[in-house]
């Protein structure tokens, strides 16, 4: 198997250079897009002479962010904690349900249609009910996040558990592995790339769920800030809250992308 | 147990029923494989070679008849029977050495003893220094070598191979068949090897079982008496192998063996 390969001098540097260029481009290009969009927004506010209480310019929003820099972090924290708690709870609840669906034909045919029916309910419509049942604390917000995140996590995990490559199944079966060994050593790890698809969908929805929960009745959180600033026509503050929400979503999403690279480095690689 | 017979297949038939039709995959198969013998199963697609292998492995219950390995009836997978597939089926999240050690973990064997054995096997397969690599960093041929090490690590007495080199390019394939012959020389196992390749079948086999399709039957069994190690190069005294290859061609392309 040993092969003598002569590598032309400078190849490694060139390859490394190309990889670094690729990494830079993957950060630079999206940044440029965002900068261009903000520029367009700014230009539009000047060209069309929009009133700041209708559409504030990026500068107005920035000034508002700076002015409220002591008040806003508490609201960011509230929304972030609700999103993460709900997301975590959805994982803890969703994965066992997915396992049950993947392993039992009976449970699949009983739970699955019920889940689809439940998911068809517009979750926003039950937000006021959650407030009636659970009050104005973080309870209804976390519940809303769970309700929204649960479905994509269950679907993707169950799909992953049911798509174990046939050879893997034959391999462990031929070793007379117990069902638990099959699950732990092969089926669950093989499902991880699918699980991450669901998690990435869910984390984007998690923040939306928290904000919807806050819209209906809250005393803190970025959703509350948006509602409150709407009531006294402080559009700049509403925009500032939206910017923070977007940033939060993006950061949470990329945190998951990094976790995926670490935990599932083989995903996307040419298998076999 | 010690009558020298590793595998006996006794009037095994297999019928797959779907809602619309039933497929007669195997019909009354009789086969005995001696301890340490290398048997290749050759036949056109759909002649039930892989099905027969899965039945011997205990992965598929036969519709009729019985299979014995070392005298014991096979009704479930056995730990002394090992399997290899067309694809390497290496777990992508495990390193090369951990893939080789998977059977050791599942069978709860002594980890330290078998780690040494795994390293030995990898060295024998020319994979020294690759223990820590991940499967996706290896070529197809190297992945299949790792799969072979995994199949041998718990020292099974029977190795069932389902077209293990079919997904590889022709040169790698030839290289690996020669290497399998060498490794088989050092670790004498009973091997049943399914293949489409006449060259592979003749090069490796003590006996070639030629199967015919629909329903899968044993058409002929050919003995290969050429001395080992066999090779394909100029130095090979290949008259015997040439004669058998020619005979196999005749058999496989004969009218009565073709699907009608």
Q: Check whether B118 has a pLDDT greater than 80.
A: yes
Q: How many CB atoms lie within 10 A of CB A135?
A: 11
For chain B, the average pLDDT equals 85
Tell me how far CA of residue B200 lies from CA of A135, A148, B166, B184, B245, in angstroms.
Answer: 74, 56, 10, 14, 10
Secondary structure of B19-44 as H, E, C letters? CCCEEEEEEEEEEEEECCCEEEEEEC
Q: Which of B53, B61, B84, B93 has the highest number of chain A CBs within 10 A, making it the mutation to test binding with A?
A: B93
Q: What is the pLDDT of residues B78-101, one digit of tens each?
A: 888 999 988 889 999 999 999 999
Contacts of B102 in chain A (CB under 8 A): 171, 175, 185
Cα dist. B88→A166, B57, B168, B180 in Å?
12, 17, 11, 15
- The minimum CA-CA distance between A43 and chain B, rounded to whole Å, is 49
Beta-bridged to residue B72, according to DSSP, are B69
The interface predicted TM-score (ipTM) is 0.81
Q: Where are the alpha helices (DSSP H) in B1-132?
A: 49-57, 96-100, 102-106, 111-124
DSSP β-bridge partners for residue B221: B209
CA distance B85 to chain A (A): 7
Closest Cα in chain B, distance from residue A236 (Å): 49
Cross-chain residue pair A272–B140, CB shorter than 8 Å: yes
Burial of A56 from C-beta contacts in 10 A (0-12 / 13-18 / 19+): buried
B162 to chain A: closest CA residue: A167
3-state helix, strand, coil in chain B (%, to 5): 35, 25, 40
Residue with tokens 């995140």: A149
Say what the pLDDT of residue A208 is. 92
* pLDDT digit string, tens, across residues A3-23: 555 666 666 666 666 667 777
Contact A176 B87 (CB under 8 A): no
Give tens-digit pLDDT for A39-52: 998 898 888 888 87
Q: Name which residue leads in pLDDT, A54 or B255.
A: A54
What is the spatial distance between Cα B212 and Cα B188, in angstroms, rounded to a whole number? 29
CA angle at A165 for the pair A164 and A168, rounded to the nearest 5°: 95
Chain B residues whose C-beta sits inside 8 Å of any chain A C-beta: 54, 57-59, 76-79, 81-83, 85, 87-93, 102-103, 105-107, 126-127, 134-136, 140, 142-143, 167
Q: For chain B, how many residues are written?
A: 260
> pLDDT of B35-69, one tens digit each?
889 999 998 887 888 889 999 998 888 888 898 88
Sequence-ordered list of residues with C-beta below 8 angstroms from that of A59, at least 6 positions apart, any chain? A42
Cβ atoms of A91 and A199 closer than 8 Å: yes
* Angstrom distances, CA of residue B132 to CA of A178, B136, B142: 27, 12, 14
A179 touches chain B (CB under 8 A): no
What's the pLDDT at A268?
65
Q: What is the C-alpha separation between B143 and B136, in angstroms, rounded?
A: 8
Which has the higher per-residue pLDDT, B22 or A99? A99
Q: What are phi and psi of B212, to 5 degrees?
A: -115, 150
pLDDT value of residue A95: 94
Please tell me if residue A176 touches chain B, with a CB cutoff of 8 Å: yes
SS3 (DSSP) at A3: coil
The DSSP symbol for B196 reads S
Q: Determine the distance in angstroms separating the CA of B208 from the nearest CA of chain A, rounded to an integer.
A: 25
Other Cβ atoms closer than 10 A to B157: 17
Which of A175, A181, A261 is best to mutate for the B interface (most B CBs within 10 A)? A175
Query: Which among A170, A189, A270 is the nearest to B59, CB-wise?
Result: A170
Could you tell me if B242 and B252 are in contact, meaning their C-beta atoms sit under 8 angstroms apart?
Answer: no
C-alpha to C-alpha distances, A250 to A5, A30, A148, A161, B155, nearest whole angstrom: 44, 12, 18, 28, 52
**Do the chains contact at A272 and B143, CB–CB below 8 Å?**
yes
Over residues B223-230, mean pLDDT:
79
Residues B59, B222: Cα–Cα separation, whole Å: 27
Upper half-sphere CA count for residue B100 (Cβ side, 13 Å):
30
Of B83, B102, B106, the CB nearest to A170: B83
Please tell me the predicted confidence (pLDDT) of residue A272. Answer: 38
Contact A56, A67 (CB under 8 A): no
Q: Does A256 touch chain B (CB under 8 A)?
A: no
Place of tokens 């709900």: A86
- What contacts A183, CB < 8 A, 6 or more positions away? A99
- Closest CA–CA distance from residue A270 to any residue of chain B (Å): 6
Chain B residues inside the 8 Å CB shell of A262: none
Q: What are phi and psi of B42, to 5 degrees?
A: -120, 145
Looking only at the bridges linking them, the beta strands covering B38-43 and B190-195 are parallel
CB within 8 Å: A175 and B88: no
Sheet of B217-223: strand order equals B81-84, B158-162, B190-195, B38-43, B207-212, B217-223
């Amino acid at each position: 198997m040993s092969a003598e390969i002569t590598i032309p001098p400078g190849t490694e540097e060139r390859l490394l250079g190309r990889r670094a260029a690729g990494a830079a481009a993957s950060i630079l290009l999206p940044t440029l897009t965002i900068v261009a969009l903000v520029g367009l927004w700014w230009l539009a506010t000047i060209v069309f002479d929009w009133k700041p209480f209708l559409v504030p310019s990026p500068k107005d929003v920035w000034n508002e962010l700076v002015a409220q820099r002591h008040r806003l972090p508490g609201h960011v924290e509230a929304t972030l904690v609700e999103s993460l708690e709900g997301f975590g709870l959805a994982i803890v609840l969703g994965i066992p349900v997915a396992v049950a669906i993947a392993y039992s034909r009976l449970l699949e045919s009983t739970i699955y249609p019920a889940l689809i029916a439940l998911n068809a309910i517009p979750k926003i419509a039950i937000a006021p009910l959650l407030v009636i049942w659970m009050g104005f604390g973080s309870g209804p917000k976390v519940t809303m996040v769970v309700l929204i995140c649960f479905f994509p996590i269950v679907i993707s995990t169950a799909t992953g558990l049911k798509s174990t490559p046939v050879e893997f199944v034959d391999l462990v079966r031929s070793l007379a592995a117990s069902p638990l060994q099959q699950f732990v050593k092969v089926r669950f790890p093989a499902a991880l790339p699918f699980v991450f698809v669901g998690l990435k969908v869910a984390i984007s929805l998690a923040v939306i769920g928290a904000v919807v929960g806050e819209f209906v009745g809250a005393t803190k959180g970025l959703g509350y800030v948006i509602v409150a600033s709407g009531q006294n026509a402080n559009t700049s503050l509403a925009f500032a809250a939206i910017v923070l929400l977007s940033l939060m979503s993006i950061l949470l999403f990329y945190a998951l992308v990094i976790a995926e690279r670490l935990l599932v480095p083989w995903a996307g690689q040419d298998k076999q | 147990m010690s009558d020298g017979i590793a595998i006996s297949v006794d009037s095994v038939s297999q019928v797959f029923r779907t809602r619309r039709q039933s497929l007669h995959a195997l019909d009354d198969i009789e086969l005995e494989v001696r301890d340490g013998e290398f048997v290749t199963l050759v036949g056109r697609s759909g002649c039930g070679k892989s099905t027969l292998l899965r039945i011997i492995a205990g992965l598929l219950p036969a519709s009729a008849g019985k299979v014995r390995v070392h005298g014991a009836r096979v009704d479930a997978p056995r730990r002394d029977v090992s399997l290899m597939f067309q694809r390497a089926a290496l777990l992508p999240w495990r390193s090369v050495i951990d893939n080789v050690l998977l059977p050791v973990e599942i069978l709860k064997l002594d980890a330290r003893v078998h780690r040494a054995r795994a390293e030995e096997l990898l060295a024998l397969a020319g994979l020294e220094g690759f223990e820590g690599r991940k499967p996706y960093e290896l070529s197809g041929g190297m992945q299949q070598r790792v799969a072979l090490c995994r199949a041998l690590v718990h020292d099974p007495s029977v190795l069932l191979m389902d077209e293990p080199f079919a997904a590889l390019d022709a040169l790698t394939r030839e290289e690996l068949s020669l290497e399998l012959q060498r490794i088989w020389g050092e670790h004498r196992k009973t091997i049943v090897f399914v293949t489409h390749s006449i060259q592979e079948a003749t090069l490796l086999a003590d006996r070639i079982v030629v199967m015919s399709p629909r329903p899968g039957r044993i058409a002929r069994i050919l003995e290969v008496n050429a001395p080992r190690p066999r090779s394909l190069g100029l130095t090979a005294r290949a008259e015997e192998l040439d004669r058998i290859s020619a005979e196999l061609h005749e058999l496989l392309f004969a009218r009565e063996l073709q699907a009608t």
